[in-house]
Structure 1
């Protein structure tokens, strides 16, 4: 099973997601893709199996992903201070994999009905959902 974690800026969310996935679903292959080198390096230190940086690695990486994890902004062109290109947003939004996205203030998008909580709470929920999905509770 392939999980793609995408993040930008400093990669803090991506780091937490990689750590949670590696802890909860150790058999999963984790590809971490940063929209910049700092985010990529941060996720690499967290234990991702593979890392890459930039638009094309996102586009190619999500093609066969079972699950995609990251901030909500990865499906919104020009979000995360412009780091998400239209091509990234289209690739993530159109990929066949289950998308488990976390609302973040830096994305400039809010979702009505979501519960306000800290980053650790969102990461736990995302890891729970990814684990349940991959175990067949789709």
Structure 2
């Protein structure tokens, strides 16, 4: 299974996601895609198998993955303080890959009910959903 982890800003969310996927699914190939080099490096240090940075790298690489995971802002044009460009948001939204979006409220997108969970709990729930995509 090929999993793209998309993150922006400081890469803290992507770092935790990569670490947890590696713990739960060590056989998965993880591609860390950052909107900036800080986010990309954080995911590499966390154990991503490969990584790339920037709009074109994200748009190009998500064409060949089974799952895309990140904060919900990755489907919002200008999300994550403007680091998610309209091209990135469109590419993620249009991708045939399963999209697992963590409802973090930093992009003016509110998912009622998600506030009842910590970020760590939301990440664990997201990774559980990815494990359900594995072939038996």
TM range (shorter): over 0.9
Alignment deviations for residues 65-100 of structure 1 (CA, whole Å, 9 cap, x no partner) = 100000000000001000000000000000011000
> For the residues of structure 1 that align with 2:68 and 2:93, how far apart are their CA atoms?
10
Quote the Cα distance in structure 2 between the aligned partners of 1:93 and 1:39. 21
Please report the TM-score for the alignment, with normalisation by the length of structure 1: 0.94
Q: How does 1:94-133 map to 2 (within 5 A)?
A: 94-133=94-133
| CA deviation vs aligned residue, 1:110-137 (integer Å, no higher than 9, x gap) | 123435211110110011110111245x
Moved more, 113-122 or 25-34: 113-122
Query: Tell me, what secondary structure is at the counterpart of 1:129?
Result: helix
Aligned runs of 1:33-72 on 2, under 5 Å? 33-72=33-72
Normalised to the residue count of structure 2, the TM-score between the two structures is 0.95
Equivalences, count: 136
Query: 1:5 and 1:135 mapped to 2: Cα distance?
Result: 20
Q: Is the 8 A contact 1:71 1:107 kept in 2?
A: no
State the secondary structure of the residue aligned to 1:106: coil
1:73–1:107 contact (8 Å) kept in structure 2: yes
Instruction: Return the alpha-carbon distance in structure 1 between the equivalents of residues 15 and 116 of structure 2.
Output: 21
Q: CA RMSD in A?
A: 1.2
Structure 1 residues not aligned, in runs of 5+ = none
Match of 2:22 in 1: 22
Partner secondary structure for residue 133 of structure 2: helix
More helix by share: 1
